[in-house]
A and B are shown apart, each in its own frame.
Chain A
């Protein structure tokens, strides 16, 4: 479903004095449909960069990424929405709109991609139910706990039934209890169909999952195990 082929990403910093950063160095691996893959690695290992390349927020310096058989470098800017609508993203910093309620934040995504009003009315309560937030639908992000906000972000990522969900540190600021809650939720979602890619450096999460683990270090893949453990 997704193929990374010899991906190198070098950031040349705007501050001219600093050296360019090699964020990814000839990374190659595949992700199959319906897989649950964890990307682990120390801070700065290149996890977020990998997700950004897939979402075409950044372009690789060299190498190809194939998404459902299509080379991302062939995708023109008019086709970008097509790609992004197939991907649901849970951002490390949530990216919820502060002036919109939980319900509106989720509905907004659907509006933006042109869903009909009936679909929105039908699907938003459904995903709110899946993430267990039906009661808090009318609250603003500021009135929600960190875990609840994270769940709104997850609900938003899956409401338009994407083929793949990218979750970047979705448990970053959470206590162990809420962390496990979120992971259970991602597992539940993966069973409903989409591929899930989880970027994390949380040891307990990885050890609990018993799923494929791709370990990055300084932009290189150092391990890729079917039922991986957290080893750094």
Chain B
């Protein structure tokens, strides 16, 4: 049994090697498919991090009119905190807001001077409200626009940040849709191309196959090598894809980090390395094997 397996693998390797030039096309399309699968997996992670990041940063700031009393503000806060949507509420007094501003613009003396010249604190007291998920901000702001509150509330700073989340979301679902369409297309192309190259290989081996049949080879002894051949293409495509992806991540990582501080592409790649390898190998080998099987079914009847 073991001898037979070795022979099947050896024979598969031989026919792969003999038809290596036509196998290049197979390897190329398999490579494209596999690297797409890998990048998609990475992108999913990145976009999740970005969305989480944005959600974390986002809150609704409710600014109160100049004359509103602190106890009124805290009263509003208390009422808000009873809403199930609220995750937490932070009160920022006028003084705190000024301090924050001064801290943030320590080095900008001109700006600080102009505040000084004003002679009074221009900031408004605010409640920073955070909800469990971004869809709930609309509800919170509606609540605050309602009767009873409009006399206190100066403005609700919410719409400014909504687009960032929406963009990220639609980008995410857009990329998913596009990736899936490309993947389906690539898989069809990959199978069609490998089907043809394996078919050609079967054609090139027709003399061997005829003799194998006539001397009584079992059908899997005849078919096995072509399955192996398809899998070799898949493995090579995967190896090339992993190398390419490592290089891309290593190369792009510093460039992306300068945009999004929280993401290190290369770290992400390293952390997910084995998962990536698994995903790509599974994609590559199964595609190679499936197209071989189709080719065998099509060109190697009985």
A84 adjacent to B219 (CB under 8 Å): no
Q: Which 7 A-B pairs have the closest CB atoms?
A: A84-B216, A85-B216, A81-B216, A112-B217, A109-B215, A81-B218, A112-B212
CA distance A111 to B211 in the complex (A): 12
Q: Please determine whether B216 and A82 come into contact, CB atoms closer than 8 angstroms.
A: yes
Contact A97 B211 (CB under 8 A): yes
Nearest CB of chain B from residue A45's CB, rounded to whole Å: 22
Q: Which of A85-119 contact B (CB under 8 A)?
A: 85, 87, 89, 91, 95, 97, 108-109, 111-114, 116-117
A83 within 8 A of partner (CB): yes
Which listed residue (B7, B215, B302) contacts A77, Cβ 8 A?
Answer: B302
Which A residues are in CB contact (< 8 Å) with B221?
Answer: 112, 114
CB of A135 within 8 Å of the partner chain: no
Judged by a CB distance under 8 angstroms, whether B210 is at the interface is: yes
Alpha-carbon distance A95/B210, docked complex (angstroms): 9
Does any Cβ of B come within 8 Å of A75's Cβ? no
CB-CB contacts below 8 Å: A136-184 with B = 156, 160
Assess the B217–A113 pair: CB atoms within 8 A: yes
Contact A113 B215 (CB under 8 A): yes
Could you say which residues of chain B place their CB within 8 Å of the CB of A91? 214
Q: Are B208 and A97 touching (Cβ within 8 A)?
A: yes
Q: Closest residue to A95 on the B side, CB-wise?
A: B211
B107 at the binding interface (Cβ < 8 Å) = no
User: How far, in whole Å, are A117 and B211 apart by their CA atoms in the complex?
Assistant: 20
Listed in ascending order, the chain A residues whose CB lies under 8 Å from chain B are 55, 57, 77-78, 80-85, 87, 89, 91, 95, 97, 108-109, 111-114, 116-117, 156, 160
- Docked-complex contact B3 and A117, CB < 8 angstroms: yes
Identity of the chain B residue whose Cβ is nearest the Cβ of A105 in the assembled complex: B211
- B4: Cβ under 8 A from any A Cβ: yes
Considering only CB atoms, which chain B residue lies closest to A80 in the complex? B216
Number of interface residues of B (CB under 8 A): 17
**Contact surface of B with A, Cβ cutoff 8 Å:** 3-4, 7, 207-208, 210-219, 221, 302
Contacts A/B (CB < 8 Å), 10 sampled? A57-B214, A77-B219, A95-B207, A95-B211, A97-B211, A112-B215, A112-B217, A114-B3, A114-B221, A116-B3
A interface secondary structure, majority: helix
Q: How far is the CA of A57 from the CA of B211 in the complex (A)?
A: 12
With A78-B219, A111-B7, A116-B3 as given contacts, are A97 and B207 in contact (CB-CB < 8 Å)? yes
Does A83 lie within 8 Å of B7, measured CB to CB? no
CA A77 – CA B213 in complex, angstroms?
Answer: 11
Which residue from chain A places its CB closest to the CB of B210 in the assembled complex?
A95
Taking A111-B7, A112-B221 as known contacts, 16 extra A-B pairs with beta carbons closer than 8 A to each other, sorted by chain A number, are: A77-B302, A80-B216, A83-B216, A87-B216, A89-B214, A95-B211, A97-B207, A97-B211, A109-B215, A112-B212, A112-B216, A113-B215, A113-B217, A116-B3, A117-B3, A156-B215
Query: In angstroms, how far is the closest chain B Cβ from the Cβ of A72?
Result: 14
Residue of B nearest to A110 (CB): B215
Bound-state Cα–Cα, A216 to B215, Å: 27
Question: Do A95 and B214 contact each other (CB < 8 Å), given the known contacts A77-B302, A117-B3?
Answer: yes
**In the complex, which residues of chain B have a beta carbon less than 8 angstroms from the beta carbon of A82?**
216
Q: Which A residues touch B4, using CB under 8 A? A: 114
CA distance A136 to B212 in the complex (A): 23
Rounded to whole angstroms, the CA-CA distance of A112 and B218 in the bound complex is: 8
In the bound complex, what is the Cα–Cα distance between A131 and B3 (angstroms)? Answer: 28
Residue of A at shortest CB range from B7? A111
A97 to B211 alpha-carbon distance, docked (Å) = 9
Contact A55 B214 (CB under 8 A): yes
State in angstroms the CA–CA spacing of A113 and B219 once bound together: 11
Q: How far is the CA of A111 from the CA of B7 in the complex (A)?
A: 8
Residues of A within 8 A of B208 (CB): 97
Q: In whole Å, how far is B223's beta carbon from the nearest beta carbon of chain A? A: 13
CA distance A116 to B6 in the complex (A): 12
Point out the residues of chain A lying under 8 angstroms from B217, CB to CB: 81, 112-113
The answer for the CA separation of A114 and B221 in the assembled complex, in Å, is 9
The distance from the CB of B302 to the nearest CB of chain A, in whole angstroms, is 6
Report the separation of the CA atoms of residues A77 and B219 in the bound assembly, to the nearest whole angstrom. 9
Which residues of chain B come closer than 8 Å to A81, judged between CB atoms? 216-219
Report the Cα distance A116→B3, complex, angstroms: 7
